[in-house]
Structure 1
Amino acid sequence: MSTIKEIAEMAGVSVTTVSRVLNFDDTLNVQDETKRRVFEAADRLEYQIKDKKKRKRKLKLGFFCSYSPEEELEDTFYLSIRIAVEKKMEKEGFKKIQINEHIVQEEAAKLDGIICLGTFSDSMVRKISEFQKPVVFIDTKGDLDRFDSVVVNLTHSVEKVLDYLVEEGHERIAFIGGCDIDSDGKELEDVRIPIFRSYMEEKGFLREEYIKIGGFTPKYGYKLGKELLAIKERPTAVFCANDSLAIGCYKAIQEAELQIPEDISVVGFNDISMAKYLVPPLTTVHIPMDFMAERAVDVLAERISTNREISMNIAVSAKLIIRESVSRVKQENKRCEK
């Protein structure tokens, strides 16, 4: 087995420097290039730390959530990811520094990297770029040439929902979605809308009056659900962009004295904790929120430690969770379509 002395000779540094680098001594003040030489020499010589437990550097990570606490409570998808990120950081021994759009260069300089969760305007992405820090975005893509990201494969996820509804005999399928307004005042269209349109158009089922766009909270699901029910030839199924919208849609349907799924089927998205407790339990798309959060922290920590220059975009798959809010189309409904 190699020794610290051999590593020091190969790296061209002192034995003391090798020892402090390999033990991740935070008080050591040497250039990154020196650390790199030490690690490379240790790797080539297959050096093993005696206790076989390499101490991890205690990173200081900025955590930037673009939404307000009130918005987080209205759509608990981001709340779930935030908690998962914080748990992962605590497990790794990393220090979380909560930051926002008012962060200045002096504050950013103290950070090792930044985790961004939510929706970010072009100007905010540019500001984050100016900090010259490793950055990972969760659930959105920043500058793909510079930043890492962990997102959901939305095309595959939306198509899985629609395939399932069509297999159950549905042709009159509606979509309830939302749009965000970023800090620049720019309206951001839900990327699921063009995916939905393209799929339905290809099948010959597209009806523009079945596409309703508002916000992402239950009140919009309720309002837009009522609008869909007011259409003379109402849809047989509603696909909601998140479970919060589905909850509002449930209320609209129940107030109209209709039954789910006998009269109209409903599908959500995200699989928040309460989805399985709705009556009937909601069929929805399960997003691996814990996995996304953990991968984001891992990717950021790896980029910090290796100085990786090539950015990564991780697109995770989602799973359709079939519960009791979807049924096959009744024959009388099929006849009405003719």
Structure 2
Amino acid sequence: MAVTLHDIADKAGVSIATVSRILNNDVTLSVNEKTRQRVLATAEEFNYTKHKRARNNQVQRVAVVQWYSLTQELDDLYYMAIRMGIERAAQQQGLQTVPVYQNNMEEIPRDVTGIIAIGKFSDSQVQALRLVTSNIVFVDYDSLAAGYDCLVPDFENAVRSVITEFVNEGIDDIGMLAGTERTTDQQIVPDLRRFYFESTLRQQNLYHPEFIFAGNYTSMSGYNAMKKAIATLGDRMPHGIFIANDPMAVGALKAIQEAKINVPNRIALISFNDTAIVKYVYPSMSAVHVATDEMAHTAVDMMIKRLQNPSNDPCKTVVGTHLILRQTTR
């Protein structure tokens, strides 16, 4: 079996991104010489060479299917970061990528040997992708039950870390601005963040369904959902609010500031994804960090393994997250 960057990273004890940048002589990478030599020695031990990546020494084409349009992608830097990371990682591995936006299956070239699909997809869309190729890796969508490789963030522990942080701050009235997602053919996609939020609070006897409001993951929907929460709950507004993604968090923060509610003393906020936008709002937003670069490199490695061994059983990779505290928590 051919060696992947994941194999080298595991053996050397570093991230996949670090391995990739060292092997590609990235001069901007800040890493000590001992680590660099360990990675190079591991690659040499495994007899790793990039030209062995491509079957028959030919460049393979992989479609990168983004479930957002270009305009939508600009409003959600999370999915943009994943796509751009995949394209960079694929290029480093000697793969040629073909971008396809908003699930336009008819635009996928029929000569691609694999598909990396980013976002949410209905059963019928999965079948449409399958008609092009069976070598598919889904990113941010759990497709294991359908028989396809997939890569997802660790939603369960991410949500639990948020609730633990609020409780540690002395906050036991916790609300959520949840998101309702639909595929481009309008099939509803369950949100695991809300599922784990509700189930964890129930376990701790802290669940209040009236503290949950929903939007559609846009900044405007976050603004409107928070305005509705403020108007509906008044003085009963929860002291801690978990927000399903960064654009909604930015909109919610605007509504809170317009209502002259103090953050974080009266309301503490934690977002999810930790894209650049939440670092530069004021006050800067605490957020669950999802390692989009790591996801991108891992997705490409999974695709390479699939291309090399198409008959292998599908696998699911869960990428860890961590909570970053900034000015919207106490």
Q: TM-score range by the shorter chain?
A: 0.7 to 0.9
Which of 272, 275, 278 aligns to 2:278? It is 275
Cα distance in structure 2, aligned partners of 1:167 and 1:76:
30
Q: Where does the alignment leave 5 or more consecutive residues of structure 2 unmatched? A: 1-44
Match of 1:310 in 2: 313
Which residue of structure 1 lines up, in the alignment, with residue 138 of structure 2? 137
Residue in structure 1 matched with residue 26 of structure 2 by the alignment: none
Return the alpha-carbon distance in structure 1 between the equivalents of residues 272 and 127 of structure 2. Answer: 31
Report the counterpart of residue 178 of structure 1 in structure 2.
179
Q: CA-to-partner distance for each residue in 1:74-130, whole Å, 9 max, x for gaps?
A: 11110111111111112222111223645459933x111110001111100112223
In the alignment, is residue 235 of structure 1 matched against residue 232 of structure 2? no
* CA 1:106–1:153: 2 relative to 1, 3 Å: closer
The offset of 1:141, in angstroms, is 1.8
Taking a change above 3 Å as real, the CA distance of residues 92 and 226 of structure 1, as seen in their structure-2 partners, is: same
Report which of the two structures shows the higher radius of gyration computed on alpha carbons: 1
TM-superposed deviation, 1:269: 0.5
Equivalent position of 1:36 in the other structure: none
CA distance 1:254–1:198, change in 2 (3 Å): same
Which residue is 1:194 aligned to?
195
Q: 2:287 aligns with which of 281, 284, 289?
A: 284
After TM superposition, the structure 1 stretch with the greater mean CA deviation from structure 2, 130-139 or 148-157, is 130-139
Q: How many pairs are equivalent?
A: 279
Q: Match for 2:263: what amino acid?
A: I
Structure 1: stretches of 5+ with no match in the other structure: 1-45, 328-338
Following superposition, the deviation at residue 312 of structure 1 comes to: 0.9
Partner amino acid, structure 2, of 1:64: V
Q: Tell me if structure 2 keeps the 8 A contact 1:105–1:131.
A: no
The 1:105/1:167 distance shift into structure 2, 3 A limit, reads closer
> Residue 213 of structure 1 aligns with which residue?
214
Tell me what 1:204 maps to.
Answer: 205
Aligned counterparts of 2:317 and 2:96: Cα–Cα separation in 1: 24
> For 1:314, what is the secondary structure of its paired residue?
strand
Q: Percent identity?
A: 29
Matches of 1:135 and 1:168 in 2, distance apart? 43
TM-score by length of 2: 0.79
- In 2, the alpha carbon distance for the partners of 1:319 and 1:79 equals 20
Residue type at the aligned position of 1:221: G
> Pairwise CA RMSD of aligned residues?
2.2
Q: Which amino acid counterpart does residue 65 of structure 1 have in structure 2?
A: Q
Question: Tell me, what secondary structure is at the counterpart of 2:181?
Answer: strand
The residue type paired with residue 181 of structure 2 is D
| Distance change >3 Å, CA 120–CA 48, structure 1 → 2 | closer
